[in-house]
Amino acid sequence: MRTSPGSRILSVGAYRPRTRVGNDAIAALIDSSDEWIRRRSGIESRRRAADDEDLVTMATAAATKALAGAGVAPRDVSAVLLATMSYRSRATTVAPLVAAALGATNAAAMDLGAACAGFPYGLATADALVRSGAADNVVLIGAERMTDIVDDHDRGTAFLFGDGAGAVVVGPSETLGISPVVWGADGAKSDLLRYAETGTLRMAGPEVFRWATAVIPPVAERALEAAGITAADLAAFIPHQANLRITTAAARALCLPPHVRVATDVITNGNTGAASIPLAMAALNGTSGRALLLGFGAGLAYAAQVVELP
């Protein structure tokens, strides 16, 4: 086993479903309006997966792009990790299906369940696997088909969520391309965001909003400290794309200097759960340097780390 001083993100790939759905189509079902949805969430539209765009096809498409970007052959992948909260089956997991579709025949494959914090949780896992020598190249995917678990008639969630998949390849590095993770979970509050008996998602929106805006600044500060940098050293801030108001409040609390690009993918893609951070990273294409990633959501779980952008 060859240990490595560090690991880094080699590449990022995205898959966004073909169909864009505007606010008006959703507002009609929940006695809402385009104006209310924009004002309260910043969302203008989101992607909805068609029948042929299932979790496996979306995740495989994103991972295929990431592997091509990294120049890594599928047979050289040691592990496929897939973060999702929208796969209904527990008997099978998605990652083995995606590994098979990729041709990653030498890879371990498992799903990660940390909801909207799943991507940074997965990145911490991938980093540890690579540094310990247990893996060479890890494919980490965040993929969601929220359409399957959101009730179109639920006023608190119907307008919020979208579908898609984002993937990165993590490989060995001489330097620390992925800084130490700061993470945790507050299970005592898990009732605030959970599956109802109907099998669809229910969220106490204002309470989750308050929890998120309270937890983000200290967790972000600790992640910067763990990386040995300050906000001024960042090129980008990529929080989970839950609500534009949460992102704006977090950026303000962190006193980010004007040169720091703040991810706002939520505006056109909605909240894509575990896929939102890699999708937002792909949308910041062309930005290089360090980015602060921060995921938060059901659990209630959170995780943050500083990464060197690919």
Residues that bind ligand UT7 (CB under 6 A): 30, 32, 36, 40-41, 116, 155-156, 159-160, 205-206, 208-209, 212, 242-243, 246, 271, 297
The CA-atom distances, in angstroms, between 16 and each of 19, 157, 173, 244, 276 are: 9, 20, 30, 19, 11
Q: Is 255 a catalytic residue?
A: no
Smallest gap from residue 232 Cβ to ligand UT7 (A): 27
The answer to whether 80 and 103 have CB atoms below 8 angstroms apart is no
Helix H or strand E segment including 281:
helix 276-283
Instruction: Tell me how long the chain is.
Output: 310
Instruction: List the catalytic residue out of 116, 137, 243, 269.
Output: 116
Distant-in-sequence, close-in-space partners of 174: CB < 8 Å, separation ≥ 6: 4, 5, 6
Q: Which is nearer to ligand UT7, 256 or 266 (CB)?
A: 266
Smallest gap from residue 158 Cβ to ligand UT7 (A): 7
- Output the CA angle 249-289-211, nearest 5 degrees: 25
Phi and psi (nearest 5°) for 187?
-65, -20
Which residue is nearest to ligand UT7, using beta carbons? 205
Distant-in-sequence, close-in-space partners of 91: CB < 8 Å, separation ≥ 6: none
Give the sign of the dihedral formed by CA 178, CA 216, CA 159, CA 81: positive
Smallest gap from residue 48 Cβ to ligand UT7 (A): 17
Reading the block at residue 284, the tokens are 């910041």
* Rounded Cα gap, residues 143 and 14, in angstroms: 10
Q: Which is nearer to ligand UT7, 30 or 102 (CB)?
A: 30
Q: Which is nearer to ligand UT7, 155 or 259 (CB)?
A: 155
The answer to whether 296 and 186 have CB atoms below 8 angstroms apart is no
Smallest gap from residue 227 Cβ to ligand UT7 (A): 24
Smallest gap from residue 299 Cβ to ligand UT7 (A): 10
* Rounded Cα gap, residues 167 and 13, in angstroms: 5
The answer to whether 289 and 281 have CB atoms below 8 angstroms apart is no
Q: Which is nearer to ligand UT7, 125 or 243 (CB)?
A: 243
The CA-atom distances, in angstroms, between 45 and each of 25, 42, 48, 264 are: 10, 9, 10, 12
Smallest gap from residue 106 Cβ to ligand UT7 (A): 34
User: 166: closest CA among 47, 28, 293, 58?
Assistant: 58
Task: Quickly count: other Cβ atoms within 10 Å of residue 25's Cβ.
Answer: 13
- Active-site residue numbers? 116, 240, 271
